[in-house]
Amino acid sequence: MAESKTLLSELKAVVGDTYVVHTPEDLIVYEYDGSVDKATPAAVVIPNSTEEVSRVVKIARRYDEPIVARGAGTGLSGGAIAELGGVVISLTRMTNILEIDVENQLAVVEPGLVNIELTEAASKHGLYYAPDPSSQRACTIGGNVAENSGGPHCLAYGVTTNHILGLEVVLADGSVQWLGGKTRESPGYDLRGIMVGSEGTLAIVTKVVVRLLREPEAVKTLLAVFRELDHASAAVSGIIGAGIVPAALEMMDDLCIKAAEASVHAGYPENAGAVLLVEVDGLKESVEEEAADIELVCNEFDPMEIRTATDPAERERLWAGRKGVLGALGRLAPNYYLVDGTVPRTQLVEILAKIRRISQRTGFPIANLLHAGDGNLHPSVLFDERKPGDTEMALEIGGEILKLCVEAGGVLSGEHGIGLEKQEYMPIMFSEDDLDAMARLKPAFATDDALNPAKIFPTGATCGDVKMANAIAKAGPGAWI
């Protein structure tokens, strides 16, 4: 107890009493993120600068406390959960845009900056930041870097890693380093690329240099409405198969439509089996031509109707429905468990049919929301955590869907990361040698498992029929937990 009081005292000396959270009633706010997992940290520290982050890390290390970096808490894989307790470093006070370089089309920002606020600031210069997760109005740039987040418009423009030029990071010993910088290319190993998507297990990001894009001359959004989910899925493959790569290609099934309409009133027909939301941008002439080609393809798959929106207000309304649908699922059930697997686009019809059969067999509704253009599934298992066994069953269904994705030639995560949610499924995708090679990266950064421990890698328990004992023996137990 005395040691705990001394730790808190030292942390308060760095950031001030107000910015150290430690009472049980206040810590509840930090015991969960957007996933279904929960764990309570010993303390939460909210620093305001790189220097303060460095000092907090050094203090926590002296007390041998695990350290978890946290942004807005919108993550969906348990990445911000303090599974082993310890100190959570919340970066939500570090929200400054330090520089917008219009000529070189880049910005330097702090990790707590909310994603959409970057584009709002850049738009004054005719620029924007392309990665746009559905939680864009809440999620932070630092969290996006940690998870290598995607978003609807990443089909054409790439995910977070394609838009990060450099990172300032605090390592596990409290030292501060720059990885990459303001130039497009840097010599030597791509440590910036290694850091993006490492889920806070290698370092804590304190500054980010992002690439900005010019706003397109023209934008057009199409809403294609289908009676059957299978028809919408086939239309996705048809569009990409025709050599068309739109800026965004999203799909929602009937449950998503029902929830979104009740909440946002986006104008989706509630009697539809699925809708595609397709956006094209670029030069005016090419946008018109591409939109016409997409309409021709969609018409081959028996659509109920196809609408076109060019007015900004109408386009915003259609996208509000898409980006608000996850929150709207609360109208259908108290809880949802969102799965984040990716499959080849040609497998969409088959995999969605199998998910539908899982729903019918188990009696749990599953709402399907997809970044359809790149095959990124977001099936949401609807359940009620107050009912005994419901949470466990939802997790079991999620695992079954993830196995389907890998068996179809896909991957465990498209953008949400592994975190706690999928760590025990890693062996169905990676061999022991694969996992051994990845596990050796953490010791190379001398983390000593202090940063976001118990994430990504299996804990050593049996996963299905795959045992990790050999790989753990080679890499050492410290590399895994």
Asked if pLDDT for residue 1 goes beyond 60, the answer is no
Neighbours of 444 (CB within 10 A): 9
| Three-class DSSP category at 165 | strand
Write the CB contacts of 156 (distance below 8 Å, at least 6 apart in sequence): 245, 246, 247, 248
Residue spans in the chain of domains classed CATH 3.30.465.10 = 97-214
Torsion sign (Cα): 177, 182, 187, 189: positive
CATH for 218-407 is 3.40.462.10
Asked if pLDDT for residue 67 goes beyond 70, the answer is yes
Mean pLDDT of 350-355: 97
Mean pLDDT of 21-29: 96
Average pLDDT, the chain: 92
pLDDT in tens, 242-300: 999 999 999 999 999 999 999 888 889 989 999 999 999 999 999 999 999 999 999 99
DSSP 253-304: EHHHHHHHHHHH-----TT-SEEEEEEEEESHHHHHHHHHHHHHHHGGG-EE
Asked if pLDDT for residue 466 goes beyond 80, the answer is no
User: In the prediction, which pLDDT does 165 show?
Assistant: 97
User: In the prediction, which pLDDT does 2 show?
Assistant: 57
Q: Selecting from 2.102.10.10, 3.40.50.410, 3.40.50.980, 3.30.465.10, what CATH number does the domain 97-214 have?
A: 3.30.465.10
Give the global pTM. 0.92
pLDDT in tens, 199-232: 999 999 999 999 999 999 999 999 999 999 999 9
Asked if pLDDT for residue 464 goes beyond 50, the answer is no
Rounded Cα–Cα distance for residues 449 and 458 (Å): 14
Residue spans in the chain of domains classed CATH 3.30.43.10 = 2-90
pLDDT in tens, 188-197: 899 999 999 9
Least confident of 187-196, 295-304, 316-325: 316-325
H or E segment and range at residue 226: strand 218-226
Mean pLDDT of 334-342: 94
Amino acid at 277: L
Rounded Cα–Cα distance for residues 252 and 273 (Å): 9
User: In the prediction, which pLDDT does 468 show?
Assistant: 40
- What is the rounded (10 degree) CA torsion for 468, 435, 344, 270? 70
Residue 284: both structure tokens together: 């005016």
Write the CB contacts of 183 (distance below 8 Å, at least 6 apart in sequence): 165
Mean pLDDT of 167-186: 94
pLDDT in tens, 384-407: 999 999 999 999 999 999 999 999
CATH fold of 2-90: 3.30.43
